[in-house]
Amino acid sequence: MIKHLLFLCVVVGLPNVLSAQKYALKADVVHTVSGPSIQNGLLLVKDGKIEWVGAAKDKAIPKDYKTYTAKTITPGLVDGHSVVGLAGALNQPHDQDQLETSGAPIAPELRALDAYNPREILVSYLREMGVTTIHTGHGPGALISGQTLVAKTIGNSIQEAVVDSSSMLAITLGSGISSAFKSPATRSKALAMLRQELLKAQSYLRKMEQPEIGKRPERDLKLETLAQLLKGELKALVTVDRAHDIQAAIRLAKEFNLKMVLDSASEAYLVMDEIKSSGVELVLHPTMKRAAGESENLTFETAKILNEAGIAFSLQSGFEGYVPKTRVVLFEAAIAAAYGLPYDKALAAITINPAKILGISHRVGSLEIGKDADVVLFDGDPFEYTTHVCTVFVNGKVVSETCR
């Protein structure tokens, strides 16, 4: 995680933008995610943060608090991996920034923050569906397609939205690498190229750590980013579906001691022991992703199977080249729950689990005192088809008030 100080300063400098309003949010059930669900629960919101959470009977609502009532309250949803903000809804060349194919297939220097459009309609669409934080950026399709970022689904600028300006490095293995690149065209070549590049970065890192400044090499954005990966400041987000490609990714993580997150991982159920013992993290494919191509062996029950094996994972909206241009993690978790993933685990997969993988669980992912007041109010069971997302709070501000 690399916190760009500039952005942090800007955010801290604008507390008034966040909220001056105080809210009391009541519901039949409050799913805190961090602890047991609270029947007849109450949540107090002040200065953009969660001020208090507990049973309504234990706290009188102070009189200057505006009250909202719902059937169910959950934390703001966190999308474990998306391309929203870079892959626009129009799906025309001018609004597709998730993959650069005119250059080299290894492009770690590409920053999501230089392309992220906070006004993109799919950002507001997700926000209205209760998604308050997205991990987004360069998509799959290049060996290394670029950096990802973490943003709240608000704001007119990247500065207002950003939570982590550089979160992970997006890597693709298997046959998902775009044919726009002449090479790599085979799995073996892909790994050889990646390993050689990482060796170069190791050497760059050694030279940059020389005490004598004059002997250090000129800055190289590509190698500098890879050096951050080697130092564990960035995680490797490896989009991979086939079981043997998952094994290749784990092999790479071990060789270079990388912090790795497996992305999609359709065939994870075939290699659960290896995933577990390797310590890599997992952002599973959208439950409703189409079973085709590299993902032809995915199942609706993989979430359930992984959970039963004791493997923690997050869910994601993923990448779509066509329709739907984005998926909605709420819907994906609902189908996972319908196909055997316990309710609380399904909710964790779109709240606290991705928050942990993204290193932001001190701010979002559960309803705890002091955390950001990102909250979603529903008029029923959040996973039911016919339930509506009615009110959405981000940083203690109402950002959506129409039941959808």
With CB under 8 A as the contact rule, the residue among 335, 359, 368, 398 that binds another protein is 335
Supply the DSSP symbol for 186: S
With CB under 8 A as the contact rule, the residue among 112, 113, 268, 337 that binds another protein is 337
Nearer to another protein, 58 or 401 (CB): 401
Q: Is 286 helix (H, G, I), strand (E, B) or coil?
A: coil
Which one of the spans 2-10, 56-64, 154-162, 335-343 is the region binding another protein (CB under 8 A)?
A: 335-343
Residue 252 tokens, joined: 């790479």
Tally the residues of the chain: 404
x-or-dash string of contact with another protein, 124-153, rule CB under 8 A: -x----------------------------
- If one asks whether residue 121 binds another protein (CB under 8 A), the answer comes out as yes
Taking the complex as a whole, the smallest distance from the CB of residue 291 to another protein amounts, in Å, to: 4
Taking the complex as a whole, the smallest distance from the CB of residue 189 to another protein amounts, in Å, to: 23
Amino acid at 342: P
CA 290 from centre of chain: 20
Taking the complex as a whole, the smallest distance from the CB of residue 383 to another protein amounts, in Å, to: 6
- If one asks whether residue 122 binds another protein (CB under 8 A), the answer comes out as yes
Amino acid at 202: Q
CA distance 85 to 153: 9
Strand extents, DSSP E, 144-250: 144-152, 162-164, 168-172, 235-240
Q: How many helices (H) and strands (E) does the chain have?
A: 12, 15
Report the b/e string of 299-321 with b at 16+ CB within 10 A: eeebbbbbbeeebbbbbbbbbbe
CA distance 148 to 34: 26
Residue 215 tokens, joined: 């002997």
Taking the complex as a whole, the smallest distance from the CB of residue 236 to another protein amounts, in Å, to: 26
Which one of the spans 152-160, 196-204, 314-322, 392-400 is the region binding another protein (CB under 8 A)?
A: 314-322
Nearer to another protein, 169 or 330 (CB): 330
- If one asks whether residue 388 binds another protein (CB under 8 A), the answer comes out as yes
* 187-208 vs 221-231: helix crossing angle, rounded to 10: 90
Residue 98 tokens, joined: 């998730």
- If one asks whether residue 300 binds another protein (CB under 8 A), the answer comes out as yes
Cis, bond preceding 324 (omega within 30 deg of 0) = yes
- If one asks whether residue 297 binds another protein (CB under 8 A), the answer comes out as yes
x-or-dash string of contact with another protein, 200-239, rule CB under 8 A: ----------------------------------------
- If one asks whether residue 90 binds another protein (CB under 8 A), the answer comes out as yes
CA distance 114 to 165: 10
With CB under 8 A as the contact rule, the residue among 193, 338, 356, 398 that binds another protein is 338
- If one asks whether residue 92 binds another protein (CB under 8 A), the answer comes out as yes
Binding site for another protein (CB under 8 A): 88-92, 121-122, 125, 267, 270, 288, 290-293, 296-301, 320-328, 331, 334-335, 337-339, 383-388, 404
